[in-house]
Homo-oligomer: A and B are copies of this chain.
Amino acid sequence: MREGPDIARIASLVGDPARANMLNALMGGTALTASELALEAGVSLPTASSHLSKLTDGGLLTLASQGRHRYYGLAGAQVAGMIEAIIGVAEAVGPKRVRHGPRDAAMRVARVCYDHLAGEQAVAMLDRLFDRKLLLRDDSQIRLSPSGAAHFAALGIEIDARARRPVCRACLDWSVRRSHLAGALGAAILDKIIAEKWARREKDSRAVVFSPKGRQAFERVFLA
């Protein structure tokens, strides 16, 4: 009975259906208000409020008060990564192996993971960035190379390396089961994809759908 980190505490936070629905909704990356999350979870407002304070106390959510609205969001990419890992297991052991609808397929190709891109496209992108030496695998981190910094700057993506948030971070992809790029750079790239209208967010889903021209542009810039 040696004691490690309190994984039961964290897991039990995710282990309630109402809270799991809230976290799932927040995987889209946008912060939501308490009432939106209550609707999403299918519980009353008081119940939702209670759950939300547990999640924030537990360190899984952050809270940003703006006037009378209170926006809840995931506490970081690591939390998002954990939830993706749980989703992966749930998919694998779930009773419904054979339910790959069209929306499911789109999710596997490209989706939002908190604030960055995930799915086959994202994994392929990270691979190419390594191949082109724009990113370097350091001892225990991913780093932006000088040529990489120049490359992204030319695209209008400039990252302040001194900010608190790490520039590059690996995040395990539940569908592909390999890492994709998170961190400030990962978020900036997703921002650009949306801003350039290369792709749009599917309504009420984490799926990201590229337009034909958008896909070409994305491949030219990131998969070349």
User: What residues of chain A have their CB less than 8 Å away from a CB belonging to chain B?
Assistant: 1-2, 4-17, 19-21, 23-24, 39-42, 58-60, 75-76, 78-79, 81-83, 85-94, 120, 123-124, 127, 130, 137, 139-142, 169-172, 176-179, 204-205
Contacts and interface: CB of A to CB of B under 8 A. Distances in A.
Contacts of A83: 7
Contacts of A139: 120, 124
Contacts of A59: 89, 92-93
Contacts of A41: 1
9 contacts: A2-B204, A4-B24, A8-B15, A8-B20, A11-B12, A81-B85, A124-B140, A140-B176, A170-B178
A21 B11 CA distance: 12
B93 A58 contact: yes
Contact of A141 (B17, B23, B76, B178): B178
